[in-house]
Amino acid sequence: MEFPDNSFKPGLTQLLIRRMTAAAILTVGAVGVVVLFLFNPEEHGAIYPQCWLHKFTGLDCPGCGSLRALHQLTHGHLVTAFRFNPLLVLLLPVAVWMAVCELTWQATGKKLPGITMRPWSWWLLLVVIILFGIGRNLAMFGGRLG
Ligand SMILES: [Zn+2]
């Protein structure tokens, strides 16, 4: 086992807890992917959470269309997924890689070449998400971007 960062050397119990947590997260993620693959949110909306902003205002939040986009991605329909939520499709590979790096770190102590997020980059991401949320509702995008 390899723990290149000397500040992190968990005991056996901690390591077991970390591995079990990583396994639980992977299991929940895998179940989520299977559910999204099998049940199209457009046809089985009752089993998925609804967007309160869209429900009460008719506006699309930055996350609107994410489940439909993920469903399309599980079927390999990248363009259709992009139409439902382009920001999700663009950010998903980064998010998945960051999750893989973190879970690998937690489960094995091995560091994969990850993506370093500085504090300012989290703020930039927040600004991008807010601007996307505003932009997708503007008339200049036909009232709908994604
Ligand atoms: Zn929404």
C-alpha 107 to ligand 1 mean position (Å) = 33
C-alpha 114 to ligand 1 mean position (Å) = 29
- Residues of the chain predicted below pLDDT 70: 1-10, 139-146
C-alpha 120 to ligand 1 mean position (Å) = 25
pLDDT at 28: 94
C-alpha 17 to ligand 1 mean position (Å) = 35
pLDDT at 4: 57
pTM (two decimals): 0.79
* Residue list, CB under 5 A from ion ligand 1: 51, 54, 61, 63-64
CB of 99 within 8 A of CB of 111? Answer: no
Q: Where are the domains of the chain?
A: 12-141
pLDDT at 9: 65
